[in-house]
Amino acid sequence: MEKLSNPQKTIEVIKKYDFAFQKKFGQNFLIDAHVLNKIIASADITKDDCVLEIGPGIGTMTQYLAEAAGKVVAVEIDRNLIPILSETLADYENVTVINEDVLKLDIAKLADEYNQGRPIKVVANLPYYITTPIIMGLFESHVPVKSITVMVQKEVALRMQAGPGTKDYGALSLAVQFYAEPYIVANVPPNCFMPRPNVGSAVIRLTLHENPPTTVKDESLMFRLIRASFNQRRKTLLNGLNNSPEIKASKEQIQAAFEKLSFPANVRGETLTLKEFAALADEFAEF
Ligand code: SAM
């Protein structure tokens, strides 16, 4: 079958099945072969790889993944797309389509079943309304994943890659960078999709750390500290933490921790590195 990255072919399939795009599922299908080739190349897919694709749509990227990978498991929530996928992926024997909500799926079990528990690669043009829960879910459940190469909203990609002291730096930057090394592969304009989204997009690759960049006694305490710091951006870190209902420490204890770590009394959360947040969390763990 001719590739769906040819916009004419996509239109033909949509018409044949009388498919109605569903905004609530974030359906913007790729129609640009150049972008698709770039995603496959940057995800570094080989025949040894088992790929999880989240949201195959009508199968545009799935066709490329099937040609490059050993195995592709594609999880699609919209049941109206399932008959379409049976036709567009009929030539590929190494693809399994699962009609499920990816947020409800046991991905560790899936990696077990399709890749004998070895690390999988995740590749997707993500539905933007659930980008963060999908990515954080993959990290926090400690599913065996080698890398995550995804199309996301451009602003989100910038936040994931941002470093301390920049305007995009925040809780998402720290959460992502605790688990993975981010790299923005390409910016993608709205005209590469059908229908066009009203935001810019970017492809970002997150390569999971083999060894964590920092260790911390209590991960969940560190992330509570991070959230509390960035929830009140205009305050100093001291006031932000002191006013946060999530943090149970007195002003004196917070000041003592800052002194021990040689942080200035008026330090702001947005200047701290991941390692510094980890050190701070280790001090708070003693309270
Ligand atoms: N991969 C296709 C492409 O690039 O042309 C489609 C990408 S489109 C941005 C996102 C896809 O994710 C849609 O097909 C949508 O139905 C699907 N989707 C949305 N929410 C989902 C969920 N919770 N679980 C699985 N798939 C979902």
pLDDT tens sequence across 227-242: 999 988 778 999 999 9
Distance 170 CA to ligand 1 centre (A): 27
* 96 φ/ψ angles, rounded to the nearest 5 degrees: -115, 125
pLDDT tens-digit readout, 88-142? 999 999 999 999 999 999 999 999 999 999 999 999 999 999 999 999 999 998 8
**Pocket (CB within 6 angstroms of ligand 1):** 25-30, 54-57, 60-61, 75-78, 101-103, 125, 127, 130
Within 53-130, where are the H helices?
A: 60-68, 82-88, 107-115
pLDDT tens-digit readout, 240-277? 999 999 898 999 999 999 999 999 999 999 999 999 99
Number of neighbouring beta carbons within 10 Å of residue 146: 16
Q: Which residue, judged by its Cα, is nearest atom 11 of ligand 1? A: 55
Domains along the chain with CATH numbers? 7-208 (3.40.50.150), 219-284 (1.10.8.100)
Pocket test for ligand 1, best of 125, 153, 188 (most atoms within 8 A of CB): 125
* 244 φ/ψ angles, rounded to the nearest 5 degrees: -80, 130
pLDDT tens-digit readout, 15-36? 999 999 999 999 999 999 999 9
Q: ipTM of this predicted complex?
A: 0.99
Q: With beta carbons less than 8 A apart as the criterion, state whether 69 and 53 touch.
A: no
Distance 115 CA to ligand 1 centre (A): 23
Distance, CA of 210 to CA of 179 (rounded, Å): 9
Distance 238 CA to ligand 1 centre (A): 42
Which atom of ligand 1 is the closest one to the Cα of 151? Answer: 9
pTM of the model: 0.95
Which atom of ligand 1 is the closest one to the Cα of 55? Answer: 12
Closest-CA residue to 45 (of 116, 104, 94): 94
Give the residue numbers of the binding site for S-adenosyl-L-methionine: 28, 30, 55, 76, 101, 125
Distance 202 CA to ligand 1 centre (A): 16
Residue 156 is predicted with a pLDDT of: 98
